[in-house]
Amino acid sequence: MKNKVKQTKTGKATKVAKTVDEYLERIPEPASSTLNKVRAVIRSVAPPDATESISYGIPTFKYKGMLASYAAFSDHCSLFPGAGPTIEFKNELKTFQTSKGTIRFASDKPLPATLLKKLVKARIAENERKKGR
């Protein structure tokens, strides 16, 4: 099986990481440390049967559907908790750049752990409601 190749903004082809650890090892500091902190916080509130993998080329937690993804970019990092949590906590996210389901933050400053936990817990509840129908 051939490795998937991802095209960067400059047109340079790169191999897509196969594991979350590989993804995090490839990104430079300070984004690597920041995303490792994000990963640890998500793990701390995710249910024990949540899984972690690479989806669409970025680290993703899944639990009854997509739980949260995160990624590093050239000038920022992003968390992708879905639209529901982003809308639910819009007042607490005022200091961050947001769009539907996306939260951007500085590469050297992870989201506050308490806010990140709220976002993930809201997404867990949302996924459980959807699967309970």
pLDDT digits (tens, 9 = 90+) for 39-60: 999 999 999 999 999 999 999 9
Residue 131 lies in a domain: no
- The residue among 133 and 120 whose pLDDT is bigger is 120
pLDDT digits (tens, 9 = 90+) for 8-31: 444 444 688 999 999 999 999 999
- For the segment 89-99, the average pLDDT, to the nearest whole number, is 95
From the number of C-beta atoms within 10 Å of its C-beta (0-12, 13-18, 19+), residue 115 rates as: middle
What pLDDT shows up at residue 14?
Answer: 65
Residue 132 lies in a domain: no
Residue 114 lies in a domain: yes
- The separation between CA 51 and the C-alpha centre of its own chain, rounded to angstroms, equals 13
Residue 130 lies in a domain: no
What pLDDT shows up at residue 132?
Answer: 65
Total domain count, the chain: 1
What pLDDT shows up at residue 126?
Answer: 95
Domain residues for the domain of 31 are 5-125
pLDDT over threshold 50, residue 5: no
Residue 47 lies in a domain: yes
Residue 54 lies in a domain: yes
What pLDDT shows up at residue 127?
Answer: 95
- The residue among 110 and 120 whose pLDDT is bigger is 120
- What CATH number does the domain containing 103 carry? 3.90.1150.200
Residue 50 lies in a domain: yes
pLDDT digits (tens, 9 = 90+) for 58-76: 999 999 999 999 999 999 9
Whether the Cβ atoms of residue 62 and residue 73 lie closer than 8 Å to each other:
no
Residue 56 lies in a domain: yes
Cα–Cα distance measured from residue 85 to residue 103, given in angstroms and rounded to the nearest whole number: 10
- For the segment 100-126, the average pLDDT, to the nearest whole number, is 95
Upper half-sphere CA count for residue 91 (Cβ side, 13 Å): 1
